[in-house]
Chain A
Amino acid sequence: MDRLAKIFRPGPRHAIPVMLFLLLGFVAPLVTVVMYSFVPSRTFDLWQDWNLDNYAEIFNSSSYIPFVWSLGLAAATVLILAVICYPVAFGITRVFGKYATFITLLFTLPLFVSENVRIYGWILFFIKNGVLLGSLKSMFGYEPESILFTTGLTLMGMVYVYLPFMLFPMTLGVSMVPQQTRDAAFDLGATRWQVFKEVDLPLAMPGIVIGFLLTFVLAVGAIAEAKVLGGQRIIPITQDIETAFTYAQNWPLGAALSVLLMLVVGTLVLVVLRRFDLDTILGKK
């Protein structure tokens, strides 16, 4: 009886619906994927002899290349976004004043428009006779090659799509730095660079790291950028997975590839998240 009362105290009681739903909607599907990865190749029935053939097939092929591309592009996206977003996050917290909310809203809006539609907007921008090249041609008579369908543009597309996911956690982090601490450092004769290195960066670190993690994980799962903007010049791992599930009709192989991707992502997320106290980051008073 005592134990029951303990379990059903207000905190855990309110957590029950969410946990139950995630058990059915998140954990169970992931377990299904793991189970499917042991089923013989090109079959659809879950209940048969399980083996490791799918994994053997992956390790004996060149599927590490898409893995490397996905991880590499995601890492590059994170680094570029860190440089792009820090001044904006700093501005939202300390410079923009009453306009800060409006600017935040401007960065939120693109999240609500389907990402493939926005990527398509880039195609219209960069295509031959499109917004950029068409204007250059009519104004200056200058006709450069279109940069569509290159790996560089894939990277730009990823930077574009995942920008808000870096910006918002980073802004939370930057707003955790107390102005008094910065003022004190300046009063004691610190240079701007010193304040940035010794005060701003360490105190904002939780938000920055969460931004890194979120952007990296989502960027590893990117698929549309390479397909639409990159003209399939490179194949990310997600596209391999998708192909296995659709054209190749090889669900077990797709499942095994997914399991490997989940291992990489899951380990990273668990290791990093473990170290943080979310209450302080989200602004508990």
Chain B
Amino acid sequence: MRRALIWSWTGAVIIFMYLPALSLFLASSTSSRYFGFPITKWGFVWWQKTFDSLEVHQLFRTSLAIALCVTVIAVVIALFGALAFARYEWKGRSIYQKLVLLPIFFPQTVLGLALLLYFNALGFTMSWQTAVFAHLVWIIPVCTLVISIQVYSFDPALEEAAFDLGATRWQVFREVTLPVLFPGIFSGALFAFLLSWGNFPLSLYTTGADTTLPEYLYAKMIAGYTPGVPVLGTVSTFGAALLMLVGYLMIVILRRRRTADVDSN
């Protein structure tokens, strides 16, 4: 009885979470210029139009460039950050853990404006590169946290055993630390990419003349209705879902293979 209640409550909350995505999808699959429900003319005309637009191609390129740069830099810095966060015992670690979290516990609009002032005071011109920096301020801490959770379950004895067997520091890192932590690093990368791809408040103030997809969508929805917005919104939702699913399956397969390896030895 209570289990059924919890199941249905959770079901209701999930429906609540996905109603906007559903509305976007419905709005994108009509052939008429204006949105009205129930839909009278179904069709994917606006999908075609949106994908053919050169402007949209440019937006995709900018967003992709930013997200890829953010992912690579964030993962490298966060990997070391996570080792300091969870692997080693050291004085000041508890303060360090809290300092790393501060940018997450901070309103992003204010952070975006602060970075705008900062870049301006330093004399930088805003472009997609400054946006990469801005995204990193928020994403490196998130990534550190995600990787740390994996690092907590890491057994330091593995590294020590490798050292005892005569491996160099680099060999230990490449052959022991990296493979063991790989699922965490992979989820960290996935988080970094997707959070950068969908970010709006930081991009808004720091991209300058370059425009990312969320910024473009915002400008369009302020200006009035066009079916291109629901199309791109639906594409982002499906794209993120697909990426997440593939990532999740990869981690599951990796885990299976590892247990299989252990068994066969």
Report the minimum CB–CB distance from B258 to chain A (whole Å).
18
> Which residues of chain B come closer than 8 Å to A206, judged between CB atoms?
none
Count chain B residues whose beta carbon lies closer than 8 angstroms to a beta carbon of A.
99
> Which residues of chain B come closer than 8 Å to A265, judged between CB atoms?
105-107
Contact status B108-A221, CB under 8 Å:
yes
The answer to the question of A201 belonging to the interface, with a C-beta cut-off of 8 Å to chain B, is: no
> Which residues of chain A come closer than 8 Å to B145, judged between CB atoms?
282
Contact status B6-A129, CB under 8 Å:
no
Contact status B98-A274, CB under 8 Å:
yes
Report the minimum CB–CB distance from A206 to chain B (whole Å).
14
Contact status A114-B137, CB under 8 Å:
no
Contact status A106-B14, CB under 8 Å:
yes
Interface string of A73-102 (1 = CB under 8 A from B): 000000000001001101100011000010
Contact status A25-B133, CB under 8 Å:
yes
> Which residues of chain A come closer than 8 Å to B85, judged between CB atoms?
15
Report the minimum CB–CB distance from A258 to chain B (whole Å).
5
- Distance of A19 Cα from B213 Cα, bound (Å): 30
Contact status B113-A217, CB under 8 Å:
no
Number of A-B contacts (CB under 8 A): 280
Report the minimum CB–CB distance from A238 to chain B (whole Å).
5
- Distance of A251 Cα from B108 Cα, bound (Å): 17
> Which residues of chain A come closer than 8 Å to B201, judged between CB atoms?
221, 223
Tell me the interface secondary structure of chain A in the complex: helix
Interface string of A256-280 (1 = CB under 8 A from B): 0010011001000100011001110
The answer to the question of A208 belonging to the interface, with a C-beta cut-off of 8 Å to chain B, is: no
The answer to the question of A108 belonging to the interface, with a C-beta cut-off of 8 Å to chain B, is: yes
Contact status A245-B116, CB under 8 Å:
yes
Contact status B10-A19, CB under 8 Å:
no
Contact status B100-A22, CB under 8 Å:
yes
- Distance of A145 Cα from B101 Cα, bound (Å): 44
* Stretch in contact with the other chain, from A50-58, A120-128, A183-191: A120-128
The answer to the question of A118 belonging to the interface, with a C-beta cut-off of 8 Å to chain B, is: yes
In chain B, positions 129-143 with a C-beta closer than 8 Å to chain A are 133-134, 136-137, 140-141
**Smallest CB gap from B103: residue in A:** A26
- Selected A-B contacts with CB under 8 Å, 19 pairs: A10-B88, A17-B76, A87-B6, A96-B7, A101-B248, A105-B244, A117-B217, A120-B233, A121-B19, A220-B107, A221-B107, A245-B116, A245-B205, A254-B113, A261-B107, A269-B105, A274-B98, A283-B149, A283-B152
Given contacts A221-B108, A265-B105, 5 further A-B contacts (CB under 8 A): A15-B80, A21-B136, A116-B200, A119-B20, A218-B107
